[in-house]
Amino acid sequence: MALVSIVMGSDSDMPVMKKAAEVLDELGISFEMRIISAHREPDVFFDYAKTAEDRGVKVVIAGAGMAAHLPGMCAAIFPMPVIGIPMHTTSLGGRDSLYSIVQMPSGIPVATVAINGGTNAGLLAAKILATSDAALLDKLKAYSEKMKKAVEDKDARLAEIGYKEY
């Protein structure tokens, strides 16, 4: 049973959405991943979003490029948290995607991460789940310690070899 559902409207979003999947994998969180277009196949999308709760999904991570609004449509149907990832676009650099996700009407919230923020979307989903899962919270704390250690190691290397060799 998948606790998180990752959905994108196109496989061109895969490099970003894959980062969310990698975080969930690392933390041992079950997930499903789908390519569904709310605009090109609305019947398939509606069934996906309407049945997610019954399938055991607790959080949806949805990507959106341009002004397409997969996260907003998920939030309109799925009663639990939805995290939107705005995709970088060539025309407006992802600002169109960002605005379409953050400017939701009252009563239909969508959490939003940075443009192309797949890793943070995965981490935010994990943090939401960790509010009722102590073991997952411990894994998140260990993940944070690992990030801290990586920075400390880089600083030690810089001190050892200097900026010219770094």
Q: What is the pLDDT of residues 98-119, one digit of tens each?
A: 998 999 999 999 999 999 999 9
- Asked whether residue 142 falls in the same domain as residue 99, the answer is no
Task: Tell me the percentage of the chain whose pLDDT exceeds 90.
Answer: 90
| Beta strand segments in the chain, E | 4-8, 31-35, 59-64, 82-86, 111-112
**Looking at residue 32, which CATH number applies to its domain?**
3.40.50.1970
pLDDT in tens, 114-141: 999 999 999 999 999 999 999 999 999 9
Number of structural domains the chain divides into: 2
Residue 49 · residue 73 · CB < 8 Å: yes
- Asked whether residue 60 falls in the same domain as residue 45, the answer is yes
- pLDDT score, position 66: 80
Please give the residue range of the domain that contains residue 124: 4-132
- Asked whether residue 87 falls in the same domain as residue 113, the answer is yes
- Asked whether residue 147 falls in the same domain as residue 80, the answer is no
User: Is residue 69's pLDDT more than 90?
Assistant: no
Write out the two tokens for 32.
Answer: 């499903």
- Asked whether residue 15 falls in the same domain as residue 90, the answer is yes
- Asked whether residue 105 falls in the same domain as residue 44, the answer is yes
- Asked whether residue 112 falls in the same domain as residue 139, the answer is no
Report field, pTM of the whole predicted structure over 0.85: yes
pLDDT band for position 39 (cuts 50, 70, 90): confident
Residue 76: φ, ψ to 5°: -70, -25
